[in-house]
Amino acid sequence: MLTEQPSWLSKRRIVAGPTFNRWLVPPAALAVHLCIGMAYGFSVFWKPLQAALVGADGQPLAACAAGAVTFADKWSGTVQALTATQCNWTQFDLGWMYTLFFVVLGLAAALFGPWLERVGPRVAGLTATICWCGGLLIGAAGVHAHALWLMWLGSGLIGGVGLGLGYISPVSTLMKWFPDRRGMAAGLAIAGFGGGAMIGSPLATLLMSHYASPGDPGVAATFVALAFIYAVFMTGGSLTYRLPPKDWEPAGYVPTEDEGDRVAHRHVHVREAHQTPQFWLLWLVLCLNVSAGIGIIGAASPMLQETFAGHLIGHPDLAFGALKQHPDFVKAAAAVAAGFVGLLSLFNIAGRFIWASASDHFGRRPTYLVFFALGAAMYLLAAHAAEAKSLSLFVGCFCVIASMYGGGFATIPAFLADLFGSHFVGAIHGRLLTAWSTAGVVGPVIVNYLHDVRAESGSVAADMIYGSIFSVLAGLLACGLLAALAIRPVATKHFMSESELAAAQEADHIAHAQAHPADADHGSVWAVVLSWTAVGLPLLYGVGVTVQKAIVLFH
């Protein structure tokens, strides 16, 4: 028995008491994920930052890579833009920061996954808070100094570490609290990450309008404001994390054997998991699903403005080039596009919960088969909608795509637990997220490179740029379908024996931990109500603003 008083940051300090209410953990996870999920909404900053520098005539200065067509030339321009302070940035330049988010997220999750299991979710959550909010402050300094390298370092690299730690910190914790609803638990754990842009995008647009002044789009001040807001919510969520005692089970829970070979009732060690074909097939499934969605979601705002231009504001005769000559029209179109970003976020967050919960009943593999088959069809239909200028159909297609994109993330942890058991699912999940890192490069590079090349060649109208890009993304999903079809149960030889499992449980830092007396009364219904209210009010704000702005999309 451990006798020393554990630190309030200790993993042993956050073992829950017998009256702790497990429904306090989901809002804690949402508080963190709703903040770091703003990474998806960063496209609302792209257009303002692309015109941040203006000349004496009031017109934006040329970009560092102006006129570049080939990838080598564009990359050369980006290298120049890293330190240049007298030329504007392109979408290609800024898109690399978005790529850094998810590259570093996956790498940080893989690298620090075992560390998280040792120190617990509270320490990981607070570390994520420092990295994400501190990265925003450094990014604000980069915007103010017009130093792209500083933005990449702060928001991209340091912020990306915060994303990785914040993303995985609650996943395995919630799945331990909800063994009876594994898919739903995974959906709850990371639903907020998909919904962060639903709140952050309209909030950022509002803040930029408030802080903007002649020659300053207000992005730097907005970064600072968001950093302080997010710090409050992420700290509160991290301090609320609790772990269940050893061998805890919910009241009335009886493990069933009726899943057949769909669910493993033994456990694979983290060091053994990556030696199985199932791990790499799931890696490929996640990578292709994310690659097909992340680039488009990251460019959602400019994509809608370029494809529909004047159609967004009741002037269908105005092409994108003509629209840019009218500042008031540009602001109005940007506001509608921000609503589109928020709408995608709404379906992203809903899909994470709904699809993951549905997978509890229909199975993980059948759910992924739907993602890939239906997703490919939606991309091809979206290309047709863009050509026909059917805004409602276009938006509808991407709402479905966003729901399945989010659902893919939420279903993966449950799929891993089904195949490898739940004991090491947090660390295995962290390693699998290197697929997200890869997709964070592949997806945005495909979208941004093909976009810029086609736009600057002058041979393709702005409203037709994305059609062929959608076909490429549909092809990625078709490949993912083949990978999902190949997944089978893990071979018996990879599972731990009873003695090996007992040794692993004994090594767990909470194996002999006792709940702290201060945690004894956290089962109060009022505590649950207050926790859900704290995250529910921002969600209601995001949903309300999203619905209000999105109505025009379906006129």
Six token digits for residue 468:
């062929």
Measured in degrees and rounded to the nearest 5, phi and psi for residue 496 equal -75, 150
Instruction: Evaluate whether 211 touches 281 at the Cβ level (below 8 Å).
Output: no
Measured in degrees and rounded to the nearest 5, phi and psi for residue 164 equal -65, -45
| 123 located within any domain | yes
Instruction: Evaluate whether 255 touches 168 at the Cβ level (below 8 Å).
Output: no
What number is the average pLDDT over the span 448-454?
A: 80
N-to-C CA span, the chain: 66
Rounded-to-integer distance, Cα 97 and Cα 157, Å: 8
Is residue 515 scored above 90 in pLDDT? no
Rounded-to-integer distance, Cα 331 and Cα 334, Å: 5
The predicted pLDDT at position 322 comes to: 67
| 23 located within any domain | yes
| Confidence category of residue 207, pLDDT binned at 50, 70, 90 | very high
The predicted pLDDT at position 323 comes to: 65
Is residue 73 scored above 70 in pLDDT? yes
| 38 located within any domain | yes
SS3 263: coil
Q: What is the pLDDT of residues 240-298, one digit of tens each?
A: 998 888 778 887 777 655 444 467 667 888 888 889 999 999 999 999 999 998 888 77
The predicted pLDDT at position 87 comes to: 80
| Confidence category of residue 520, pLDDT binned at 50, 70, 90 | very low
The predicted pLDDT at position 270 comes to: 81
Comparing 376 with 456, which gets the higher pLDDT?
376
Count the neighbouring beta carbons within 10 Å of the beta carbon of residue 74. 21
The predicted pLDDT at position 69 comes to: 62
The residue type found at 279 is F
What number is the average pLDDT over the span 453-462?
A: 74
How far is CA 174 from each of CA 32, 113, 368, 386, 432, rounded to the nearest angstrom? 14, 15, 22, 41, 18
Comparing 78 with 281, which gets the higher pLDDT?
281
| Range scoring the smallest mean pLDDT among 107-121, 211-225, 307-321 | 307-321
The residue type found at 453 is V
| 133 located within any domain | yes
The predicted pLDDT at position 321 comes to: 65
What number is the average pLDDT over the span 94-104?
A: 83
The predicted pLDDT at position 483 comes to: 95
Instruction: Evaluate whether 243 touches 16 at the Cβ level (below 8 Å).
Output: yes
Is residue 9 scored above 50 in pLDDT? yes
- Is this structure's pTM higher than 0.85? no
What number is the average pLDDT over the span 72-90?
A: 79
Is residue 459 scored above 80 in pLDDT? no
Q: Could you tell me what percentage of the chain is helix, strand and coil, using 3-state DSSP and rounding each to the nearest 5?
A: 75, 0, 25
Measured in degrees and rounded to the nearest 5, phi and psi for residue 30 equal -65, -40
Range of the domain at 216: 15-53+69-251+267-495
Measured in degrees and rounded to the nearest 5, phi and psi for residue 7 equal -65, 150
H or E segment and range at residue 498: helix 498-507
Per the listing, tokens 């950022």 go with: 204
Among 102-116, 321-335, 511-525, top mean pLDDT goes to 102-116
Mean pLDDT, all residues of the chain: 83
Rounded-to-integer distance, Cα 94 and Cα 47, Å: 10
Measured in degrees and rounded to the nearest 5, phi and psi for residue 54 equal -125, 155
| 543 located within any domain | no
| Range scoring the smallest mean pLDDT among 183-187, 314-318, 367-371, 436-440 | 314-318
Q: What is the pLDDT of residues 157-169, one digit of tens each?
A: 999 999 999 998 8
Rounded-to-integer distance, Cα 378 and Cα 25, Å: 35
User: What percentage of the chain carries pLDDT values higher than 70?
Assistant: 88
| Confidence category of residue 137, pLDDT binned at 50, 70, 90 | very high
| Confidence category of residue 504, pLDDT binned at 50, 70, 90 | low
**Domain CATH for 344:** 1.20.1250.20
The predicted pLDDT at position 371 comes to: 95
Q: CB burial class (10 A; 0-12, 13-18, 19+) of residue 401?
A: buried
Concatenating the DSSP letter of every residue in 421-436 gives -STTHHHHHHHHTHHH
Which of 159, 250, 246, 194 minimizes the C-alpha distance to 29? 194
Number of domains, the chain: 1
Taken in order 335, 540, 233, 170, is the CA torsion positive or negative? negative
Count how many Cα atoms sit within 13 Å of the Cα of residue 101 in the half-sphere of its side chain. Answer: 28
| Confidence category of residue 60, pLDDT binned at 50, 70, 90 | confident
What number is the average pLDDT over the span 288-309?
A: 84
The predicted pLDDT at position 4 comes to: 46
Give 54's strand partners. Answer: 60
The predicted pLDDT at position 375 comes to: 95
| Confidence category of residue 3, pLDDT binned at 50, 70, 90 | very low
The predicted pLDDT at position 259 comes to: 47
How far is CA 475 from each of CA 5, 478, 480, 481, rounded to the nearest angstrom? 57, 5, 9, 10
| 217 located within any domain | yes
Is residue 106 scored above 70 in pLDDT? yes
Rounded-to-integer distance, Cα 44 and Cα 201, Å: 7
Q: What is the pLDDT of residues 393-442, one digit of tens each?
A: 998 999 999 999 989 988 998 899 888 887 778 788 889 989 988 887 88
Maximum pairwise Cα distance, the chain? 76
The predicted pLDDT at position 1 comes to: 36
Comparing 294 with 321, which gets the higher pLDDT?
294
Concatenating the DSSP letter of every residue in 264-288 gives -SS-B-HHHHTTSHHHHHHHHHHHH
User: What percentage of the chain carries pLDDT values higher than 90?
Assistant: 29
| 406 located within any domain | yes
The predicted pLDDT at position 5 comes to: 47
| 388 located within any domain | yes
Rounded-to-integer distance, Cα 439 and Cα 473, Å: 12
| Confidence category of residue 301, pLDDT binned at 50, 70, 90 | confident
